Structure formats: structure tokens, C-alpha cells
Amino acid sequence: MRIENEVTFEDVRDAFLRENDLEDQYNRWGMQAIEIAQEQFGHWRRVILSSEDILGVMLPHHSRCGPEIVPASCSTVAAAIERLKLTPEDDACRKKVEQVSRKDASLIFLSARPIDHPQYPEYQALIQRKYQGLTHLDGLHRLLGWGLSGRSDVVAYVAGLAAGEEADLTGRDQQLR
């Protein structure tokens, strides 16, 4: 992970709204997660993720497309890809991931540790085990798609990342892969 510069919350929100329509309920879920991260951490940095960084991002519980691609205990992108590979080829989540993996790179939103909020129980298992590390806020299917295709140089806005902290936040939780 390469840290580029600090960005304001207004930059983060404007960037999200440029690429996402709030008519979609899942985009509203992402926007609210970003707002909670702003309340919890209060600062953001723009970073460049390598393909390895992407595989190590922690994902929240994900089963809304059908099969449980990320269990309630949460898992990294790498572990979720392994689960995705076990689904049938016409599985909705798998098809969505394959579709977005072919798209141009777009912005990913992360936090340096999980958000802790009653409206986001998907992250609670991480809070309980005091997980510290890059955690998804928005872009789950893209992270899976780009993890699968080995894409690097993906731009992300990260909440709560201190300068010099990047080495401590990638590739943790290896035992869960």
C-alpha cells in the first residue's frame, strides 16, 4: 500500500456520489458506512493498493446475493474468492463479480479498522475480536473481482489511517484465509 495524500470528507463524499446513485439501497448502505467512518475516525487518506493488499482486505458478512460468500465471522477477500469458486457458474454473486472485474478501475472505500455501529452488525465479529486492518466500506464485488483478476494500482480512500501505519495494517489475520 502506498499512501498518497490526505483528503477531506467532502472529497470522499463527492467522489462516492460521482460514481454511485443513492436511489440504489446498497449504495445508500455504502454511503452511510462512509458517514459512520467519518464520525468514528474523522480523517481520510488516498492510497494505492497492490494486488496483495486487495487480497488482504477484510470483508463484512455477505450473503445478500444468495450463498454466504463471507461468513458472519467475516473474512479476507482471498478467503471469499475461495468460497466464490465453489458456487455454481450461474450464481448471482459470482456473475456480478465477474462482470465488475472487467470494468475500469474505480474508487474503493475502506477504513483502517472496522466501523462499530448498531446499524452495521455485519462488522461486529471484527469488533469483538479487536481486528485491526484494512476493512471494506464500499466496493465488495469490485474487490472480489479485482482480487480474482490480480489487478493492482487500485485507488482507495481510507478512513482512520495514520501516516506510517500502512505496514501494520496489511496482511494481518492471515490465519483466517
| Positions that interact with Zn ion (CB under 5 A) | 65, 93
Nearer to Zn ion, 65 or 108 (CB): 65
> 168 vs 25, 134, 140, 164, CA distance in Å?
34, 10, 22, 9
Nearer to Zn ion, 65 or 134 (CB): 65
Say if CB 111 and CB 41 are below 8 A apart: yes
Nearer to Zn ion, 93 or 110 (CB): 93
Residue 86 CB, nearest distance to Zn ion (Å)? 14
Residue 2 CB, nearest distance to Zn ion (Å)? 28
Nearer to Zn ion, 83 or 172 (CB): 83
Residue 62 CB, nearest distance to Zn ion (Å)? 6
DSSP per-residue codes, 112-167:
SS----TT-GGGHHHHHTT--S-EEEE-HHHHHHHHHHT---EEEEEETPPTT-HH
Residue 39 CB, nearest distance to Zn ion (Å)? 27
Q: Find the length of the chain.
A: 177
